[in-house]
Amino acid sequence: MEQVMDDVEARKGIKLLLLVVLSALMAVALLPYAMAFPSLIVEDDGFFYAEIAKNIAALGASTFDGLHETSGYHLLWMGVMAAASWVLQWISVQPEFLLWGYLTLSLFVISAYSFLFFKTIEARLLVWVLSLMCSLLMEVNLLVLLLLPVYHTLLQRDAGKEGVPFWLYLAMAMVPLVRIDATVMLVVPVAYLFLTERSLALRCALALVAGVVIQLLAMKLIFGDVFSVSSTLKAADMEGSRVLSNLLYRGPDYTLRNLLAIGLLSLAFGLALLQRNWLGVAIVMSVAGFYAAHFIFNHQRHWYFLPVYLPAFYLVSRFWPDSGWWMRIYRPGALVSALTLGIGFGLGYQLSHIPARINSLAFIKQANVTLNDSDVVFQVDGSGWTGFFLDPDGAH
């Protein structure tokens, strides 16, 4: 029996190592594309994370420009990236190498949740396309890696297939540390559990509350304020509903992304109802609450969609009927969706931004030649990317 357990652990270790190697190789392939701005796979905010993580590891200070402290990020993901930066900087401090390391980290997280929670090749391909559409180097990949095992374990428990491991409570406590507004994505399932299994619901609620308290205390102790500068600015910018703006007036990109989100949520909700899986319905409602809050009140960003797309698609794949014509269209449908989205959002985006990408590379090359350490650069669009690739001995 012990030999069998050892063999299982060895196979898990090999699979883990293989995912790391494949992620590193894929990062090499994506690096030339990610280095120019704009790129769909790494948004400007991702480069803000990269530069701040680099400075935390190198300087021991939470700063983007080397002059001012910043709290404009989510704590747990920044901690992970800063730890990666500390390791990478023992080898090289070149931005290209650091970017390769950050890409490897993001791609490994995607590899983990795509292989753990989606069974078919077509579904995994769609997961990869959806993930690459929503920016690497952002906290949402880690958020999905925490949410999916929580949803999966609760659904398995609801079906009487397994117990509740201790790590479930740790994962729930970490969700607010990744994005405090993502707490809502667990509220409705926990509320449902109070109707069916009160002791489990109480433990889950305490874990969630503990995560919120830890997040707020950590922010207060580190920065002197429970809210980050970015959340404060976003709250001040809330002026009525942004539904029409997000859906109609920000171009076809956001219109299609919102329609995709609404479609996946509707499909997941309908399938959960057909299966009479009320915990599944509760999960869809929580995910829809997160989506609706940003859709109605916030100026949406590409990465806000990932915690909506993947939990919804996970529920679709879980509740999809496994017989009849339903099953015959599932895999072709996932493949067609992946190819359509990949071509539309990938190739289409790339072709429409070639001049801007060429100009951005020329700009950063000229800036590194022209600017010196006494110069201060003020920039809006692309400032994260510019800050990351500026010579560290040059301008701020």
Question: Cα separation of 291 and 305, whole Å?
Answer: 7
Structure tokens at 180: 């405090």
**Residue 230 domain-assigned (yes or no):** yes
**Residue 311 domain-assigned (yes or no):** yes
Confidence of residue 24 (pLDDT cuts 50, 70, 90): very high
Same domain as 209, residue 62: no
Q: What is the pTM of this model?
A: 0.93
pLDDT surpasses 80 at 59? yes
Displacement of CA 182 from its chain's centroid (Å): 11
Same domain as 376, residue 314: no
SS3 315: helix
From 268, 294, 320, give the residue that closes a domain. Answer: 320
pLDDT at 229: 76
Same domain as 100, residue 19: yes
Question: Cα separation of 141 and 386, whole Å?
Answer: 23
pLDDT at 18: 92
**Residue 126 domain-assigned (yes or no):** no
Strand-pairing partners, residue 63, are 69
Number of domains the chain contains: 2
**Residue 131 domain-assigned (yes or no):** no
**Residue 167 domain-assigned (yes or no):** yes
- What's the average model confidence in pLDDT over 367-376? 67
Same domain as 84, residue 197: no
| Angle ∠(241,246,252) on CA atoms, nearest 5 | 160
pLDDT at 162: 67
Question: Cα separation of 3 and 76, whole Å?
Answer: 37
Same domain as 369, residue 315: no
Same domain as 292, residue 151: yes
Question: Cα separation of 379 and 383, whole Å?
Answer: 5
Q: What is the mean pLDDT of the chain?
A: 88
**Residue 56 domain-assigned (yes or no):** yes
Same domain as 146, residue 294: yes
**Residue 187 domain-assigned (yes or no):** yes
Question: Cα separation of 63 and 396, whole Å?
Answer: 11
Same domain as 290, residue 170: yes
How does DSSP assign 174-189, residue by residue? HHHHH-GGGGHHHHHH
pLDDT surpasses 90 at 317? yes
Same domain as 345, residue 302: no
Question: For 161-202, how does the pLDDT look when each residue is reduced to its tens digit (9 = 90+)?
Answer: 667 899 999 999 999 999 999 999 999 999 999 999 999 999
pLDDT at 4: 47
Structural domain for 175, as ranges: 139-320
Same domain as 77, residue 4: yes
**Residue 127 domain-assigned (yes or no):** no
Question: For 118-137, how does the pLDDT look when each residue is reduced to its tens digit (9 = 90+)?
Answer: 999 999 999 999 999 999 99
Same domain as 258, residue 288: yes
Same domain as 300, residue 170: yes
Displacement of CA 53 from its chain's centroid (Å): 17
